[in-house]
Each structure stands twice: as structure tokens, then as C-alpha cells.
Structure 1
Amino acid sequence: MASHVPLYKYRALLLSQNFFIKDNQAELRLHAHKYDFDMAFFSEVSQFVAAVEGDTGNGLFVIDLDALHNMQSDMQDSRKTLMLGELLERLPPGKEYVYLQSSRQGGRFLLQQKLVDSHCLAYAEKPIANDVLVDKLFNLFVQQKRGDLVRLMHLGAVDGLDDACLQRARIELISHDQAQTLHLRVRELQPDLVLIGDAEFARIDSLARVLRKNIEADPVREIVLLQHKPDAALMQHALASGFDAVLPAGDPDLLCAQLVNRASKIRTAKDLIAKDRATGLLNKIGLQKKVQELIRQAAREERPLAFGVIDIDKFKTINDTWGHYFGDIVIKRLAVCLASHLGERDLLSRFGGEEFVIVFWDCTLEQGWSKLDAMRRAFGSLPFEVRPGDVRKFSFSGGMAAYPACQTENALFLRADGMLYEAKQGGRDRICPPPASAAAAA
């Protein structure tokens, strides 16, 4: 007998009251299915715990705290009301939970403290509309990805730095020995954090200023002084010279923890500047920086790049017919569909509105066409329930360009955008140039 394959890869497990489930189950599922995930409902703690333990890694776990007042403990004394502490003890370890609470509960700080200390992924206050809740859950699915790699460059020796600790936190460590060429190396590799020893700063106190004054300097980049010996005057001079912080070098574990925290803040700052809030993808600003870095890398390693621009077909009609809210769902599901086809070093951006850009690393124009066409077919097969029982499918068109035929980010975009126009004029739901032209141009 063939094994059962679930229709939806992701699902949210909701522990709530019986009456809440009965009143909201159908509508919550309907909204969830629009976003291409499912919802499972539980009114018994034991069943919820078993489902969480059996999750394969694609679930979100949601607990309605009001359920505590209407649930029993599933223990010998069936008259006993389930308490929060008992519930938290029974939840499987190693998981994170989304808590729904009333505004009255939200005003109790000790309760918030207990929740965030109990593997809390997020909490939200009720009342919350079903469509809003589902949208927030979808955003959590998108955000539950490993953080972007943070590149840390250090000048001089850093004794005892735990490489394994940094690797687990997605921090890449790059060493550099020459103070007078540090600015060139920073310009080439674009690190997110630069660590400079106090001995190197004492010899050349203009290091941070040289890095800061470059017109192409990344505003998110942090420059940190690593201080081996306490020296208040040197610390003040460093901060006045453009350093963002001073960290003590004595305790390797403490230094690693501080660098991990700074890397987390850098990721957050980069996300605010460089990522689209609705989809979690790179925005136009973030894409520009990443593509420039990728082109420099491709030039150094003599690798090709394939650059694609896509646009959802007849998107205005989608908005006009079913509303902008449904149009946003189409955009978000396209983002998830495209992301599932990417390689580790590929780039994906929501360039604006219904337009996306994909950059394939180490990929010829013809190979890029095949990959983008596979994405087109995958998106075209997605069912969208526009109304109960009314399922539609949508499409996108795309244009391709390649490096090194096009040498700059702007040249790549203009070429791919021109090909997108040809795809639209040629009938939509296609990628231009077609394979024969791609092979000739590659």
C-alpha cells in the first residue's frame, strides 16, 4: 500500500478550548490553506503533547492560555483545573511555542516572564481575527530559518577564540595580518564586523576612521576594539576614533558570547534595511549589495551567474477580482515556492510589488533557464482557493541574463528585464530567452 503523503508540508498545531475550535476551525483552516499550510486542533493536552513530540520539524505549536480555565489535567483527579506551571512542565523540551493570551493576561509582567522563560517563540494578545492570526503564523514559518551568515574579520592575533562556538552561531571568521591593507581587504570581502586588537590600534590610530570614511562603507558594519589590558584613556580614544564598542579579551567564553550577541543585532539591523517585511526576502537595497558581492566573488573564482527577473501574470486582475489581501497571499506563496528551489549560494529578492529577482550561483544562462522554468511550473501547479470550492491557478513570466556577458548588476537587470518584456509580449507564462537562444548566447 502506498504511504500517505500529506497535502501540506507545514502545519500549525493549536491547543485551545472546545468551543473556540468549533467556532473557528473551518475559517482558520480556510485561511491557512490559502497560505499553503494546514492546521490541526487539540482540546486535550495529552493529544497535543503527542502531536508535538511526533512533529518532523515543519510545525508551529500554538497554545491558547484561556484553555487552561476549561481543561482538566488528564490526571487521576479529573476535577482538578490544569495550571500553567503543570502545562509548561508537560510540554516536550527542545521546542518553541506561540502563546495566545487575553489583554488582562498580557498586563501581568510575571506571566510574560514565565512564558518567555518557557521556550516562547512568540506571544500575541486576543482578540485576534482569524485571518490576522494565520498571517502572523505564516510570517513565523518564514522567519524560522537559520540566520544569515555574519562575516567577522579580525586584525592581529585573537587568543582563545572558540571557532566552533562562532560556527554554530553562523559567524564566519576571517583573519588579516597587515594593518595598512585592512581597508582593501574589508572593501573586497565586505565583513559585517571588524575586530581590531588594542596593540594594532595603538600603532595606527586611524584604522577605524579609514574604514568609516569610505563612501561605500556598510552603515550596519561594526568596528570593535579588542582590549587585552585595561586602559581607560585608550578606550575613550578608540570610541572617539570611530569604534562602536570595546570588548575585553581576557575570557574566551565571554568574548564568544558577546560576539554572538553583536552578530544577532547586526542580523536584525540588516533585516530592517535589506529585507522585505512581508516575505522575509531581500528587498531592492539588500539585493543590490548582495549581487555586487556575488559578482566580485564570481570574478575571483571565474564562475558564471544566471540572473532572472520574474513578474506574476495579470496581477492587477488578481487584486481587482479577489482583493489586495488575496494578492498578498499569492505573493507570499510565490516567495515560499521560489525559496524551496534555491541553492545555498543563490539569491532571491522581492524587488517590488509582484516582481522578484533570482540569481543562480555558478550557473550558465541555459542552466538558469532550466531552473527558473522549473520554478515556473511548480508555481503554476499550486492551487489557490479564492472562495470555498473555487480553486484557481496562476502563473508568472520571466527574463534571463548572464554574467560575464553582462558585467554589472545594472546591466544584468536591464537585460533580464528586457527579456521579461518579451515573455509578456509572447503570451506570458514563459521564460525568455528560450533554451536554443540561451545556448547560443552562453
Structure 2
Amino acid sequence: MMSDVPLYKNKVLFLSQNFFIKDNRSELLLCAHKYDFDILFFSEVSNFVAAVEADGCHSLYVIDLDALHNMQADMQDSRKTLMLGELLQRLPCKHSYVYLQSARQGSRFLLQQRLVDSNCLAYAEKPIANDVLVDKLFNLFVQQKRGDLVRLIYLGELAGLDPAALLDERIELTHHLDAQTLHLRVKELQPDIVLITDAEYARTESLVRVLRKNMEADPVREIALLQRQPDPALTRRALASGFDAIVPVADADLLAAQLVNRASKIRIGRDLIGKDRATGLLNKVGLQKKAQDLIRRAGLEGCQLAFGVIDIDKFKTINDTWGHYFGDIVIKRLSLTLASQVGESDLLSRFGGEEFVVVFWDCTLEQGWARLDAMRQAFCAIPFEVGAGDFRHFSFSGGVAAYPEYKSENELFLRADAMLYEAKEGGRNQICAASSGQRRSAAH
């Protein structure tokens, strides 16, 4: 494929002389590509270190410790073994590393101690199957992302927390004062975490039950009790009434650190549940909640939304002609094309198979149609090399509907999907917009 846009969003730099994975190297690469990252292999320490130093800190750096036994310390050194300490000294200290080791190495605690004290992002024991290794590396990519905003609401008086500092960590802090309207504020803001001080809980012990018993409540929302002084009896009652955790609040800095850790775990959980593994985009589950939140926000702020559904034209023919692996490449390339043209407040999802959904924030129906058509043209311009010197171009069709003409996420999807069907029936490679009659056909 010929394009200035990298095919894979992420990459792994891998230092290993002997290919140790249970399966073969080509299969490892195939698994990695499906998860939208590439692996670059290095057999020389100097080349690996140079590549790490030149990298922009967005990659993962993986080291097979067994490779040390077959590497010379430098070009003039005749030793067969490079000592771990020598390697650690050479590695750029601004990066963290993933170490792979044998079961024998893993049984040595002092070695584990040396690793985790030396910029260790993670370590794993080998042999390890390709799909397992790739899945674990993908999780590490997820953990390194700054992630989405985590919303937190707290009830009661809580001194010392710095909302601006938490916002820098992508945590939005909202203070609520009235226990009897907390359930309404939670319904409005849809926070990820609810914090209730022990004083407020002691006054109104039904607080958590009111939040939990709402049929529309988010089942994964965390509700924690902020406890100033240990009180075993109150703690037991709180846990029995539905609190997920008891958090001590003697030190504001310590509380802030705990909230940052909890927010990180929430993001990881969201990504693993709500993201498509092959593209890193929202999946159907992730889109549904975020779209509902965006519609709620649009209603509060009086904004419009444009909701688009697109589908790659003749995708079955692509798979049947050039294989499913090539079809996966087309899907990944489309995801990169779409992602490059969405804003921070927009939503982008791989809804399933070759179907994608995009939601444009503060956007009219006409503007949404124009933006989706620009995406169509950008995708159509990409040359795909299906064989040596043989380049093809592919297309997609799309449909657009708008909020507030259609009120719910389900109504918007159904209407946009109906417009997509109209675009397909009308000859493909075009965008149709609900109620506007607008469409544009590309030259075939």
C-alpha cells in the first residue's frame, strides 16, 4: 500500500536473537497486525538502543533476557554473554521496558527485584503463545494511553482536593451538597465514581440503596465511602448497604493519588469492554453509552448532532478475491482515515464487521453530510496494492441523521442506517442524509 499514513498506529521494538515464541514469527506478526500494531525485531543491542532513543515514546520496548547469553557486549568484545547490568546501563532511562524470561529466571527473586527497579513496565514468563503475548501487549498499549475523562461526584465536605490538578489527570470533580437530590445529579451527570463522606452517610443511610436500585443505574459505577476515622461498625453497615469500597481521607494528597489509580483502572476496563481490538475504536457496547451521554449533553447545552453510519462497498468481494487478511487491512486503513478527521468531542466506532458509526458534535445535518462525504473521498483516494504493481481503490457508502430531529441513539442509528441502505440501492459510493434529499455520487 502506498500512503504517507502509517498502516499500524502502534509498534513494538523487540530485542531477541532467537525466536522463542511457541509458534512462528510470521504468525506473531499476523496476530499483532490484527490488533493494529507492528513488531520490529532487533538482534543487536546497539541497533535496539538507537531505535529506542529515536522513538517518540509511543511504542513498547520488549527484551528477551535469554538473548543476553548470545550477544557480545560490544563489537570489540569477544564475550558471548552480555551481563544484565551492562544492558540496563545502555538502555535509555526515560523509557520503560517489557522483559521476557524463562521459568528458571522467573524463579529468582533477586532477578525480579532487579528488573522491577530498572524501568520495568511489565515482565512475563515464556514460552508464551503468540495470541496471548499479543493480547497482553495490546493491554499495555491501552494502559499507556491518557484515556477518556473520568467523571467523579462527591457528597459532603472534603477539604484539600485540587480540582485543577485532578483535571490534568483527566478526572472531572463535581461537588454536590444536597443528599436528597444526589440521585438526580447522578442521573444527570452519569459519573463513573460517586464519593460520599461518612458524615453524610451517617445522616442518610439509604443513599446508596437509592442509587443502586434505579433500574437505569450504571452497574459498573463505583460508589465509595470517604471515612475520616476508623469505625468498624459503620464500615460493616456501609458495605452491607452497597458501597464498593471504603476510602480513608486523612490525607488529601493520598486521596488524590488513590483517585488517579481508580480512574486508570476504570479507563482500562472501559477500553477492554468498549473498544474494538483490531482498530482500537469504540465497539458497539462502547458507542452505545458514549452516544447516550453525548445526546444527553447536547440536550443540556442546546447543541445539534449528526449521526452517520457507513459500510465498505462490496466488502465480501474484497475478502473473497484477496483474502480475509487483506480485508482486515482495508478495515484498519479505513479506521485510520476516519480517525484523522474526527474531533475530540466526536465519536467513532467500528460497529461491527465493515460497518462504522461516527457522531459529530455540534454539527448540523448538512455539515455532517459534508464531513462524511469528505471522509468518503479521502478513503476513495487511497491506493491498495493487491498484487505486485496492481493497485485498486475501494469505497464506502453512508447515511446521516440528525439530533434533535431524532431523539435517541436507537432512533438516530435506525434512520441513518435507512439512509445507508438508500445509498447502497442508489449505486453505492455516496452519502445520503435523512430528510435533506442530499446525496453525492463518485465517478465509478
Partner in structure 2 of residue 181 of structure 1? 181
Partner in structure 2 of residue 170 of structure 1? 170
Partner in structure 2 of residue 65 of structure 1? 65
Name the CA distance, whole Å, in 2 between partners of 1:344 and 1:159. 32
Bigger shift: residues 308-317 or 180-189: 308-317
Name the CA distance, whole Å, in 2 between partners of 1:405 and 1:383. 38
> CA contact under 8 A between 1:365 and 1:438: conserved in structure 2?
no
Partner in structure 1 of residue 414 of structure 2? 414
Name the CA distance, whole Å, in 2 between partners of 1:401 and 1:311. 15
**1:322–1:286 distance in 2 versus 1, CA, 3 Å:** same
Partner in structure 2 of residue 286 of structure 1? 286
Question: 1:220 Cα shift?
Answer: 0.8
Q: Secondary structure at the match of 1:338?
A: helix
RMSD: 3.5
Q: Secondary structure at the match of 1:68?
A: helix
Name the CA distance, whole Å, in 2 between partners of 1:428 and 1:61. 43
Question: 1:37 Cα shift?
Answer: 6.8
**1:392–1:67 distance in 2 versus 1, CA, 3 Å:** farther
Partner in structure 2 of residue 360 of structure 1? 360
The one-letter amino acid of 2:398's match is G
Per-residue CA distance 1:78-111 (angstroms, 9 max, x = gap): 5362122321232112223344555665666665
Name the CA distance, whole Å, in 2 between partners of 1:178 and 1:196. 11
Q: Secondary structure at the match of 1:427?
A: coil
> CA contact under 8 A between 1:143 and 1:280: conserved in structure 2?
no
Question: 1:312 Cα shift?
Answer: 1.7
Bigger shift: residues 125-134 or 167-176: 125-134
Name the CA distance, whole Å, in 1 between partners of 2:164 and 2:311. 42
Bigger shift: residues 10-19 or 352-361: 10-19
Q: Secondary structure at the match of 1:154?
A: strand
Partner in structure 1 of residue 119 of structure 2? 119
**1:381–1:25 distance in 2 versus 1, CA, 3 Å:** farther
Q: Secondary structure at the match of 1:369?
A: helix
TM-score (norm 1): 0.84
Per-residue CA distance 1:185-223 (angstroms, 9 max, x = gap): 000000000011111111111111100011110011011
Where do residues 429-440 of structure 1 align in structure 2 (5 Å cutoff)? Answer: 429-433=429-433, 437-438=437-438
Partner in structure 1 of residue 336 of structure 2? 336
Name the CA distance, whole Å, in 2 between partners of 1:181 and 1:77. 73
Where do residues 38-437 of structure 1 align in structure 2 (5 Å cutoff)? Answer: 40-74=40-74, 77-79=77-79, 81-101=81-101, 105=105, 111=111, 114-121=114-121, 144-386=144-386, 391-433=391-433, 437=437
Bigger shift: residues 10-19 or 177-186: 10-19
**1:191–1:38 distance in 2 versus 1, CA, 3 Å:** closer
Q: Percent identity?
A: 74
**1:134–1:378 distance in 2 versus 1, CA, 3 Å:** farther
> Which 5+ residue runs of structure 2 have no aligned equivalent?
440-444
Name the CA distance, whole Å, in 2 between partners of 1:220 and 1:229. 27
Q: Secondary structure at the match of 2:52?
A: helix
> Which 5+ residue runs of structure 1 have no aligned equivalent?
none
Name the CA distance, whole Å, in 2 between partners of 1:135 and 1:202. 45
Matched pairs, number: 432
**1:130–1:195 distance in 2 versus 1, CA, 3 Å:** closer
Name the CA distance, whole Å, in 1 between partners of 2:401 and 2:27. 43
The one-letter amino acid of 2:312's match is I
**1:142–1:162 distance in 2 versus 1, CA, 3 Å:** closer
**1:422–1:202 distance in 2 versus 1, CA, 3 Å:** same
Q: Secondary structure at the match of 2:67?
A: helix
Name the CA distance, whole Å, in 1 between partners of 2:158 and 2:225. 11
TM-score (norm 2): 0.84
Question: 1:253 Cα shift?
Answer: 2.1
> CA contact under 8 A between 2:400 and 2:434: conserved in structure 1?
no
Q: Secondary structure at the match of 2:199?
A: helix
Bigger shift: residues 350-359 or 204-213: 350-359
Name the CA distance, whole Å, in 2 between partners of 1:329 and 1:137. 20
Q: Secondary structure at the match of 1:82?
A: coil
Bigger shift: residues 240-249 or 70-79: 70-79
Name the CA distance, whole Å, in 2 between partners of 1:61 and 1:160. 38
Question: 1:170 Cα shift?
Answer: 1.7
The one-letter amino acid of 1:293's match is D
